[in-house]
Amino acid sequence: MNRTIIGVDGLHRCRWCAAAPEFLPYHDTEWGFPIADDRRLFEKISLEAFQSGLSWRTILAKRDNFRAAFHGFDFERIAQFDESDIERLLQDPGIVRHRGKIEAVINNAQRACDIVESEGSLAAFFWRYEPRTAGPIEPQSASSSAESVALSKELKRRGWKFVGPTTVYAFMQAMGLFNDHATDCAIRVETERARQCFERP
C-alpha cells in the first residue's frame, strides 16, 4: 500500500495529511517531532483523550479553544479545577463538551502533578517508553505497540483515565517517541534528524 501522496511542491508526504487542509502544516511542523515540554505533552495526551470516538480534524480545529478553556494546559492549574469549572467547560461550545472526558483531564492533571513530584517531569517519565527499535517494519502499520501497552498500563496504575493503548500509541507517534512518518515521506528525514539531536530528559 502506498502510504504517501505527492504535494503541489513535488514532495512525498504521509497520505493522511491530505485528508484536510489543516493537516498539512500539522504534519510538516509538529507530528513526530520530539517534545520534552511538559505542558505540550499534557496537552497532547489530553487532546488524544478528547479525540476518542471523534476525528483528529475535529480536535485540531478546536485546539485553540481547548488551550483557552484549559489555561494552556497548565496541569498544575487544571488540577485545582472544581465542579464550577466543569460546568463552565460543559457550557463552552468551542470544545468537546463531554463530562467524562473533561473530568478525566482534571483527574489526569492531578496525576500529572504526582508524576512530576516523583519523577521530576512528565517528559522524563514518558521518554522512558521510547522504543529501543525503529518500531514496526512498515510505518503506520500498527495502532498499538508493546511500549504503548506498557505505558497505558502504568498510567492506569497511577490513576489516569482515557489512556488506552491505542490512545497512548497515537500520543507517542505525535510526540516523536518514535518516527512513524512513511518511509519515503520528505518530513521523515527532518523528524529523524530532530530525534537524533534531541536531548532525552
Query: What's 13's DSSP letter?
Result: E
Q: Which helix (H) or strand (E) holds 118?
A: helix 99-119
Measured CA to CA, the distance from residue 9 to residue 186 in angstroms comes to 11
Check 31, 43, 56, 129 and give the catalytic one.
Answer: 56
- 182 and 15 Cβ atoms separated by less than 8 Å: yes
User: At a CB cut-off of 8 Å and minimum separation 6, what does 109 contact?
Assistant: 42, 75, 76, 78, 79, 81
Measured CA to CA, the distance from residue 88 to residue 35 in angstroms comes to 30
Angle, nearest 10°, between helix axes 38-51 and 165-174? 130
Check 22, 31, 43, 48 and give the catalytic one.
Answer: 48
User: At a CB cut-off of 8 Å and minimum separation 6, what does 99 contact?
Assistant: 86, 90
Query: Quick check: is 26 catalytic?
Result: yes
Side chain identity at residue 195, one-letter code: R
Three-state DSSP class for 79? coil
Query: Quick check: is 127 catalytic?
Result: no
Check 26, 76, 103, 190 and give the catalytic one.
Answer: 26
Query: Quick check: is 169 catalytic?
Result: no
Active-site positions read: 26, 48, 56
